[in-house]
Amino acid sequence: MTQLPYRLGRMWHVGAFALAIALPSALAPSIAAAQSRAETLVVVSEEGPATLDIHGATANVATHEVSWNVYDRLLTHGRTELPDGSYAYDYTDFQPELAESWDVAADNSSVTFYLRKDATFHDGSPVTADDVKWSLDRAVAVGGFPAIQMGASEMKSADQFVVIDEHTIRVDFPTPNKLVLANLAVPVAQILNADLAMEHATEDDPWALEWVGKNDAGGGAYMVDSWKPGNEIVFSRFDDWKSGPLPEMEKVLVKQIASAGTRRALLEKGDADLSFNLPPKDFQELASTGELKVIGTPVDAELLYLDMNVTMAPFDNPLVRKAVAYAIPYQPILDSALYGRGVGMFGGPEEVTTTDWPQPSPYDTDLEKAKAILAEAGYPDGFDITLSYDVTTATTREPIALLIQDSLKKIGINVTLEKVPGADWYTRLGNKDMPFLIMSFKAWLNYPDYYFYWTYDGVSNSVFNAMNYVNPEMDELIAQARFETDPAAYEDAVKGFIQIAMDDVPRIPMVQDYRDVAMQPEIDGYTYWFHLTLDYRTISRE
């Protein structure tokens, strides 16, 4: 792998961090004591990037974080301050990034973007409309998730990206829709240095996926200094960045540490600044001590749920699905398995009256009612079933599964637990061969029709429709809502497909998760983003 030049003047913190992990605590030097610590953000993370290129087939959540900080997009979202002093992105507010302004056609069939004339890539070359076109062409051409994501707002072919002049580009939409701007502000819409990338393209790899997967081809607020896969990645601030206020942190070190206990210990000692993905119990305990700042933000457009495959008996019977929905121990799952780190999505009204998503289902724990419905369905003595979950999520999924197993046994349903290896999980989802499973899904774009398009729609029947659910009435309402321009008609369509989901219950909502983060008290400016990764640009140290 070719690495970018490493700034030797600031290598101190990498060595100090390695020692802090390798040496006994009594001998470990504290990074917090280092004179230049104020300029450096130290993040400890469970996983690191599988590739540096979000368009690559192996891109993971950590890759999304690289993309967000190393690359610009045409536009971004504004932020709102929350009561706890943290921030959250505002999905209704679009702000300039690489484009300093834009014009939306009166019929929403196109958007014309006017680029900053002073923007440069990390190698000093100017950013032009040709770079933007090549980058968007690439996103729709590489296939897989990037192409699907872009296609969700009807960006599907290169001829939709039209260069007007060196600093002006138009994006055409054959089918106008509400996601036009929103989908150009997601990580996969990153703008790459086209000339640099194409120097490394080959006949077999025309989009230089291999090279970009190991190198920085961006112009964002941070540059990749070095990357040691499976160990750490180091970023430095790009001082010539023009697409926003210059970040305060000059350096960011993200250290990959599999052990949640080690990550917590480093935070408590002051040797790390921030971490996600600790177990809920740890976040609860850290929040109660008050020694660290713990922020839990309800994840928008997200649900933790149970899917029942409606093409497999007995879940092809809607009454069986309702019986199970009344037998789930919702409150113990929230309190005992998740330690209260979430919002319960149960015990709501029978009639859907709002377009909010997620929203509580009408089901709550009622074992007597569950038994009666199960008998009505023709299963008075219950049945045997397998409940599957991704073993890499066992910290929360295993206690949830055990609670469900115990509760369903009380109505005669004998549950066998299946721990699916993480490497096989998405293959199994695609095969739709699991009758009963624990899953969560987070949609990037905060629109209920977008969420249902990915998870309930029977026409696309995506990998996230593990229910294998096909309902033509629902599909028609989802399609209508995606392109509806009349607010009243849109509201009716959304309420309609949510009502079907609640009545037919192929999926049992349980909890809207928190996005939890723990950090040192002096860390300020943390922002919750829809992609659930850290934005280094807004972080400062008080």
Residue 15 clears pLDDT 70, i.e. is over it = no
Q: What is the pTM of this model?
A: 0.90
Structurally, at CATH architecture level, domain 8-273+520-541 sits in 3-Layer(aba) Sandwich (3.40)
What 3-state class would DSSP assign to 153? coil
Task: Please list, in sequence order, all residues whose beta carbon lies within 8 angstroms of the beta carbon of residue 234, skipping any fewer than 6 positions away.
Answer: 6, 14, 224, 225, 226, 227, 251, 252, 253, 254
Residue 4 clears pLDDT 70, i.e. is over it = no
With cut-offs at 50, 70 and 90, classify the pLDDT of residue 499. very high
Domain with CATH 3.40.190.10 in the chain: 8-273+520-541
Residue 94: strand pairing partners: 77
Quote the pLDDT of residue 281. 97
Please state which of the ranges 19-33, 308-322, 392-406, 526-540 shows the lowest mean pLDDT: 19-33
With cut-offs at 50, 70 and 90, classify the pLDDT of residue 34. very low
Quote the pLDDT of residue 37. 75
CATH superfamily of the 302-515 domain = Dipeptide-binding Protein; Domain 3 (3.10.105.10)
Residue 36 clears pLDDT 90, i.e. is over it = no
Residue 358: cis peptide before it, omega within 30 degrees of 0: yes
Quote the pLDDT of residue 23. 33
Residue 13 clears pLDDT 90, i.e. is over it = no
Residue 27 clears pLDDT 80, i.e. is over it = no
CA distance 418 to 208: 40
Quote the pLDDT of residue 2. 34
Report the share of the chain in percent with pLDDT over 90. 90
Burial of residue 183, with CB atoms counted within 10 A of its CB: 0-12 exposed, 13-18 middle, 19 or more buried: buried
pLDDT tens-place string over residues 81-102: 999 889 999 999 999 999 999 9
Q: Which residue has the higher pLDDT, 6 or 231?
A: 231
Residue 314: cis peptide before it, omega within 30 degrees of 0: yes
- For the segment 135-163, the average pLDDT, to the nearest whole number, is 96
pLDDT tens-place string over residues 397-441: 999 999 999 999 999 999 999 999 998 999 999 999 999 999 999
Domain with CATH 3.10.105.10 in the chain: 302-515
Residue 126 clears pLDDT 80, i.e. is over it = yes
